[in-house]
Structure 1
Amino acid sequence: MPENILNLHVGKMIQLQRISPEKHDRFTVMLIGSLPGQGIIVTTPVVRKKVQLIQEGVRFAVRLLHGSKVLGFVVTVTHSSSKPYPHLHMSYPKEIESLAIRNAERVSTNLPALVRNVRYGDDENAWQPVLVKDLSMTGARLESIEPLGRTGEQLVMKLDIEVCGEPEQLTLVTEICNRAAISDRLDREQTRYACGVSYLKIDRTQEVLLNSCVLQLKAGDQ
């Protein structure tokens, strides 16, 4: 059922995992074109600003978020080109596996981030460090040393991620949905604060970056 891939948009973030006894490295690349039944074209993987050498014949397991599903299939690199920019031609999938996920399905993580309550100005001292304990396409759970605000207040969250081998900063406006104190039974001075937030005002660029981040985290859990 290769028709499942026909509705993918150029700019979609895709995860590649090399199929090889020696290497199992993962890359995040961008879909830049496709021809149904013939092939797909993606950017060549970049790691630490260095374009990776990918030879023809290399096989990859592909995963991508598509609406409320994670699609998976296997492709083979049919052509590797550096002109006019580095890109790969890959075979069109013969079979596609589809796993339905809930839009709000959360992926466990431990990512550092910075958060600012909007009632404070954009001042260096207004930003608080937090840990993102889980993440989804609709919200996140944060833990911090100090309270972040009251239910209903808005927070700006800055999260550093990597997309296509390049660092990106994802900035999201969120709203506090719930909050709680987490006590340490052995040391009450180690109390932490948790809050659940939902995203507000997500644009297309933020959605692409968030998609890529959630996909990488989900693949890392498997």
Structure 2
Amino acid sequence: MKFEDMKLIYGYPLQLQANNSAGQPERFSCRLIGCLPGRSILLSVPKLAGKLVRFRNGQKLVARLMVDNGIGIFASVVETQTADPYPILHISYPDSVSFKGIRGATRVAIDEPVKVMNLTVISDREIDGNVVDVSVTGARIETAIAFGEIGHKIQVTMNVAVANIHRDLALEGIIRSRGEPDQQSSGNLVAYGIEFIEPEEDKRLLLYAFVYAQIGSEEVIG
């Protein structure tokens, strides 16, 4: 699709990915200020640790943004960064924007530590495990010891990162399946399928942002 076909409003959030001096990818949040179709896109300059990030002319970027029920992604190049009358990042206008539709059940493979507490069996004991895949509706968790049975209500706590911002996220869920892990898993682990039933909107929004960011990071511009 064309960038202009998305009809984005000014102030729309985007995520930029660039490589640092060590060649490692870094992601920054910014907002759309304006654009000249076929010429350039104007963005707010991201901040890191309270300071404006400095981009160099010709630096390659990958931009991602959430649109409708999916993620838009395009490659771009820094044209210039101005400071007056206020900081603006000018990047090249993309020939096209790739789009990846996302269904609620779309899962992304991750490997993140998690703590699980069984809310059906009255106890304050937390079991350590790992989330091996996650979607906006559920997750697959592997643990060294069992923490519940099908139908039990649990609380899952994990640290999530969105645009370099880290938060502890605690979600309520229901155990929907229990079985042995697949052959790719190591050790004598117990695998659980979890359906999220978290009632708090703020927590669900953070979950959506985290999952969409993970899906977006898997997309590669050729």
The answer to whether the Cα contact below 8 Å between 2:71 and 2:216 also exists between their aligned partners in 1 is: no
Secondary structure of 1:194's partner?
A: strand
Structure 2 equivalent of residue 168 of structure 1: 167
Identical residues among aligned pairs (%): 20
The CA distance in 1 between the partners of 2:114 and 2:88, in whole Å, is 32
The answer to whether the Cα contact below 8 Å between 2:136 and 2:211 also exists between their aligned partners in 1 is: no
Structure 1 equivalent of residue 146 of structure 2: 147
Gaps of 5+ in 1: none
Secondary structure of 1:54's partner?
A: coil
TM superposition score normalised by structure 2: 0.72
Worse-matched range after superposition: 107-116 or 204-213: 204-213
Structure 1 equivalent of residue 195 of structure 2: 198
The answer to whether the Cα contact below 8 Å between 2:154 and 2:172 also exists between their aligned partners in 1 is: yes
TM superposition score normalised by structure 1: 0.72
Secondary structure of 1:150's partner?
A: coil
The CA distance in 1 between the partners of 2:123 and 2:93, in whole Å, is 48
The CA distance in 2 between the partners of 1:94 and 1:183, in whole Å, is 42
The answer to whether the Cα contact below 8 Å between 1:15 and 1:216 also exists between their aligned partners in 2 is: no
Aligned residues: 212
Structure 1 equivalent of residue 217 of structure 2: 219
AA aligned opposite 1:199: F
Gaps of 5+ in 2: none
- Counterpart of 2:46 (choices 33, 40, 44) is 44
Once the two structures are TM-superposed, the CA of residue 105 in structure 1 deviates from its matched residue by 1.5
Secondary structure of 1:109's partner?
A: strand
AA aligned opposite 1:152: G
Deviations for 1:116-141, whole angstroms, at most 9, x for unmatched residues? Answer: 12235684xx2111111111222110
The answer to whether the Cα contact below 8 Å between 2:137 and 2:196 also exists between their aligned partners in 1 is: yes
CA RMSD across the alignment: 3.8
Structure 1 equivalent of residue 31 of structure 2: 32
Once the two structures are TM-superposed, the CA of residue 65 in structure 1 deviates from its matched residue by 3.8
AA aligned opposite 2:205: E
The CA distance in 2 between the partners of 1:67 and 1:17, in whole Å, is 25
Worse-matched range after superposition: 175-184 or 74-83: 74-83
Where do 1:65-84 residues align within 5 Å? 65-77=66-78, 78-79=80-81
Deviations for 1:178-207, whole angstroms, at most 9, x for unmatched residues? Answer: 1114499xx9xx532111112222524642
The answer to whether the Cα contact below 8 Å between 1:115 and 1:158 also exists between their aligned partners in 2 is: yes
The CA distance in 1 between the partners of 2:42 and 2:204, in whole Å, is 24
Secondary structure of 1:216's partner?
A: helix
AA aligned opposite 2:27: T
